[in-house]
Structure 1
Amino acid sequence: MTSLAERLSQLRRQISRIASSCDRDPSDIRLVAVSKTRPVEDILAAVEAGQRVFGENYLQDALPKIAALRDRDLEWHFIGRIQSNKTREIAGNFAWVHALEKLKHARRLDSQRPDNMPPLNACIQLNLTGETSKGGIAAEELPELLENTRDLPHLKIRGLMTMPPASAGETLQHHVFGMLRKLLEEMNRQGHELDTLSMGMSGDMQAAICEGATMVRIGTAIFGPRNRK
């Protein structure tokens, strides 16, 4: 049976190969290991293999793991949907959020971020295919949300996030990820300073990297099929 360390090593080599095939520097792509539903032991195995960045969807599942691994130099990303009654704990325990879609949540995260911590990094989630089952704002809503979050002192909007339909083929994957990249470029032309494209999971990583992903969120390829909540 392939060990977690071997899977992680294989994944890093795969990311490097894909990046090189697209004339990109592999070091420009950060791997977020999606550890949702995984026990502390699995995370520790990944840590021992050199992984330091982990993504969690479920706050109640994440907090005990963060506490148990507090002495490790790890970076925690909240990649699930944000709820108003969870913002204080998100603000106090994570370095990044990937699915910001509401101004009220941005303001709560900003006001609840502890003063002794650096600003909370955030990506705004875009829903570019109109799927009602997915969160995220429409592209036309992005300029207003960026403008309204520009001056929040404890929240820093770093970039954009999206997910194509689960059934999307490679052509649609490229289309959706390319749309997100073009949106980021357009927002930067309007004076914003965005540097992050959070896009790409185990099934669509190749298209995401070739379209400019700077963070890929990978769970299955590292940990195997996930334990269902």
Structure 2
Amino acid sequence: MVDIAQQLAQVHERIAQAEQRFNRAPGSVSLLAATKTCAPEAILTAASCGQRVFGENYLQEGLTKIEALKKENFEWHFIGPIQSNKTRDIASHFSWVHSVDRLKVAQRLSDQRPSDLDVLSICLQVKTSDETSKSGVLPKDLIKLAKEVALIPNLSLRGLMTVPAITHDFEEQRKPFKVLYDLWCELRNIGFELDTLSIGMTDDLEAAIAEGATLVRIGTAIFGSRSQKST
């Protein structure tokens, strides 16, 4: 059985060591606990250790957990692919969405955001690999999309996200993150007030921190291996 408290402490130590190794300010990288396939009890265990920000990949699974844990003051992020017919529930139940990759989705999230909630914080997902399974706006189309999204009400464009191709070579891991960091800087230089670079998971968080991550999305290293899939 996975010792979630111990695993969570080890992840925080990895983050701190990477911050020091790559001359990042201490505490400059925040942790989102990715809870795909995790039971509410596992989330509560992480919460008892101080973790308050959680991310879900699958909408129905996420909604079930949000309802089960509604008495807790958690911040929920949607980090998975977005189907247009599911934007209403995403807009109604999450504080952040990391995976916006087209104008239609952004507009629907805005239109369907309940008026009694704060604006929805979003990241634009950028495609940094040639894998057909990976979603995201192409780098060449990013500025146009960012300008369009910035005009939409009820949304706050906070940053960029990517899910790169899997590799275990450290220098290869850094390359797509560097691409995203450069795009992030380009947008900031032309006036976008971005504060979030959502990159890095269990196997590549050090490479992400080396290339400017402000938030890493960690699941397996905290909760153990997951195989079950929900929708």
State the match for 1:197 in structure 2: 197
Would you say the 8 A contact 1:78–1:96 is kept in 2? Answer: yes
State the match for 1:12 in structure 2: 12
Separation in 2, partners of 1:26, 1:62:
31
Separation in 1, partners of 2:14, 2:134:
28
State the match for 1:43 in structure 2: 43
State the match for 2:66 in structure 1: 66
SS class of match (2:115): coil
Alignment length, in residue pairs?
Answer: 229
Separation in 2, partners of 1:167, 1:43:
29
Separation in 1, partners of 2:53, 2:21:
25
- Range 4-13 or range 20-29, more displaced: 20-29
% identical equivalent positions: 48
SS class of match (2:150): coil
Separation in 2, partners of 1:155, 1:101:
14
The answer for unaligned runs of 5 or more in structure 2 is: none
Deviation at 1:130, TM superposition (A): 2.1
State the match for 1:113 in structure 2: 113
The answer for unaligned runs of 5 or more in structure 1 is: none
List aligned pairs for 1:1-229, cutoff 5 A: 3-167=3-167, 169-229=169-229
Deviation at 1:168, TM superposition (A): 5.1
Change (3 A) 1:100 1:147: same
- How high is the TM-score relative to the length of structure 1? 0.97
Deviations 1:93-141 (A, max 9, x none): 0011111101000000001111111111111111122221100011010
- How high is the TM-score relative to the length of structure 2? 0.96
Separation in 1, partners of 2:131, 2:155:
28
Separation in 2, partners of 1:165, 1:157:
25
SS class of match (1:28): coil
Letter in 1 for 2:11: L
Would you say the 8 A contact 1:15–1:26 is kept in 2? Answer: no
Letter in 2 for 1:118: D
Deviations 1:60-104 (A, max 9, x none): 101111011111110000000011110000001001111110100
Separation in 2, partners of 1:28, 1:110:
29
Letter in 2 for 1:198: S
